[in-house]
Amino acid sequence: MLAYIIRRVAQSALVLLIVGLAAFSMFRFVGDPIDNMLGQERTAADIERLREQLGLDQSFPVQYFKFLEGAVQGNFGVSYRQGRPVADILMERAPATLELAAVSGVLAILLGIAFGVFTAIRRDGFVANFIMSASLIGVSLPTFLIGILLIYVFSVELGWLPSFGRGETVQIGSWSTGFLTATGLKALVLPSITLGLYQMTLIMRLVRSEMLEVLRQDYIRFARARGLRDRTVNFRHALKNTMVPVITVIGLQLGAIIAFAIITETVFQWPGVGLLFINAVQFVDIPVMAAYLMLISVMFVGINLIVDMLYFFIDPRLRVDRSGGH
């Protein structure tokens, strides 16, 4: 068990190093931040002085390893655009993204599992067929188009919900939350549905497929032959075995929610790290872009590492294989 955990942690660290290297390499082709930081009347001496001050005159390996050294210590440098520490900027923006991702993830998991189980148990019913047909919307339409449609219906036509922004927030220490205000909760509705709809439909279809497969197994027929109630068979035996492969996909989708919140934040002008990244790209703010990608990578890899650990404990076959191998 310990060897398995060490190996997975080492693999995760290697992935982060590779992602950081790839991201840092791509930024060399985005543009020169000096062009945006100095005016039209800049001189060659001004350019050289600023380049030296930012460390851009150093070789790529030196810049990369300095970035990694600072990142390990939580120091991502200073934003070229705002002139403030990148870590402070991320701390200001992270609560908005994490709250949006949390609400979207909860909706996607709960509704996805519930609808998946329902459509599997009532697979020939009208409501189940309607849900499966409607789920094609979440799978087929791109996220930005779903957001625009929701804005048009619920903000423009009906005027029920805000179309942009986060609403009023409450400061709790260094964390700003919109959960404690009415406008904050209303502002969360449309972005969270937009962000979580695709993941919800994906989880729903996977749960339905896996549960239909489990319901065909011999031990389920044996449980029914013993006279167990349908509720016990469906939820105690079938659903439990259905969730083993589903957990892995749920973990991947939670990582995807955080990683792809950038599109939803752009559509709804949500003041999170995704919108911060878009603005950083336009200004060639390399420290912010690098810190954003490293932060998303850490979250994504961390979630997958946790899922691997859960999978190890949930599926007894893995434990048997590991013990048998030793």
Can you tell me whether residue 211 is helix, strand or coil? Answer: helix
Predicted local distance difference test score (pLDDT) of residue 27: 66
Predicted local distance difference test score (pLDDT) of residue 71: 77
Q: Does 52 have pLDDT greater than 80?
A: no
**DSSP 8-class letter at 56:** T
* Alpha-carbon 126 to chain mean position: 33
Predicted local distance difference test score (pLDDT) of residue 153: 92
Can you tell me whether residue 170 is helix, strand or coil? Answer: strand
Share of the chain above pLDDT 90, in %: 7
Predicted local distance difference test score (pLDDT) of residue 192: 92
Predicted local distance difference test score (pLDDT) of residue 190: 92
Q: Does 325 have pLDDT greater than 70?
A: no
Cβ distance 290 to 24 under 8 Å?
A: yes
DSSP string, 141-164: S-HHHHHHHHIIIIIIIS--S-SS
Predicted local distance difference test score (pLDDT) of residue 244: 75
Q: Is pLDDT larger for residue 98 or for residue 49?
A: 98
Q: Mean pLDDT over all residues of the chain?
A: 80
Type and span of the H or E element at 172? strand 170-172
Both tokens of residue 270?
Answer: 């949500």
Per the listing, tokens 């434990």 go with 319
Can you tell me whether residue 1 is helix, strand or coil? Answer: coil
Q: Does 18 have pLDDT greater than 70?
A: yes
Average pLDDT score over residue span 146-162: 90
Average pLDDT score over residue span 34-52: 71
Share of the chain above pLDDT 70, in %: 89
Average pLDDT score over residue span 42-47: 74
Average pLDDT score over residue span 231-237: 74
| Distances in whole angstroms, Cα of residue 126 to Cα of each of 90, 121, 130, 281 | 48, 12, 6, 48
Average pLDDT score over residue span 56-68: 77
306: left (phi over 0), alpha (psi -120 to 50) or beta: alpha
Predicted local distance difference test score (pLDDT) of residue 45: 77
Predicted local distance difference test score (pLDDT) of residue 28: 65
Predicted local distance difference test score (pLDDT) of residue 39: 63
pLDDT one-digit tens code per residue, 265-321: 889 988 888 888 888 888 777 788 888 888 888 888 888 778 777 766 666 555 555
- What's the pTM? 0.78
Q: Does 212 have pLDDT greater than 60?
A: yes
Under the banding of pLDDT at 50, 70 and 90, the label for residue 122 is confident
What is the rounded CA–CA span in Å between residue 197 and residue 140?
Answer: 11
217: left (phi over 0), alpha (psi -120 to 50) or beta: beta
Q: Which domains are delineated in the chain?
A: 86-283 (1.10.3720.10)
Across 153-191, b (16+ Cβ under 10 Å) vs e yields: ebbeeeeebbbeebeebeeeeeebbbeeeeebeebbebb
What is the rounded CA–CA span in Å between residue 199 and residue 89?
Answer: 29
pLDDT one-digit tens code per residue, 188-205: 999 999 988 888 888 888
Predicted local distance difference test score (pLDDT) of residue 103: 92
Predicted local distance difference test score (pLDDT) of residue 35: 64
Q: Is pLDDT larger for residue 281 or for residue 105?
A: 105
Residue 305 bridge partners (DSSP): none
Predicted local distance difference test score (pLDDT) of residue 151: 93
